[in-house]
Amino acid sequence: MFYLQLFLSFVLGLLASRMFDTIQVNRHLLRMIREAERSCLIMLATAAESVAYIQSIKFSTMEQLGIEENTIKLTKNVDEHNFSQWKQAAINNLHSAYPDNFKNIAKYYSWKQAMNFLDGVYSQNRLDKKDK
């Protein structure tokens, strides 16, 4: 009887240890994924800002060169469409890169939602720094 209790205690200890380890690993993975997500969003926002700036220079140069207004409007429409498609593809690709266990943690599904999430991260970081 004593050996049965000892064996059951050992098995229950192993199970408890395994559960605790799994919880700890998942917490660390979640923290790492969140940090990678924030870094990716910052890089995407920086790239989008650069593209928007380059586009504005492109259109002002086209105006200075005297290119027809219809051509400029057509180019703007094509560029805006391609840019919005790129933004949505970037968000979709970011979502598809999540590990299967963590796919449901994303808090945004469009570019605008992602940038609002990033603004929240910036605001939280500023508040955290003020508290320290």
Residue 26 lies in a domain: no
Residue in the structure block whose two tokens are 């690993």: 25
Write the pLDDT tens digit of every residue in 85-132: 999 999 999 988 888 888 888 888 999 999 999 988 888 776 666 665
Whole-Å CA distances, 103 to 89, 97, 99, 121: 16, 9, 6, 19
Q: Are 118 and 42 in contact (CB under 8 A)?
A: yes
User: To the nearest whole number, what is the mean pLDDT of the chain?
Assistant: 90
- Evaluate whether residue 68 is within a structural domain: yes
Do 114 and 108 contact (CB within 8 A), yes or no? yes
Count of structural domains, the chain? 1
Residue 80 is encoded by which pair of tokens?
């805006």
In a domain, 9, yes or no: no
| 66 band by pLDDT with thresholds 50, 70 and 90 | very high
- Does residue 3 fall inside a structural domain? no
Residue 83 maps to a domain: yes
Residue 30 is assigned to a structural domain of this protein: no
Could you list the residue range(s) of the whole structural domain that residue 100 is in? 36-131
Q: Is residue 67 part of a domain?
A: yes
Q: How much is the average pLDDT of 11-29?
A: 93
Asked if residue 31 is part of any domain, the answer here is no
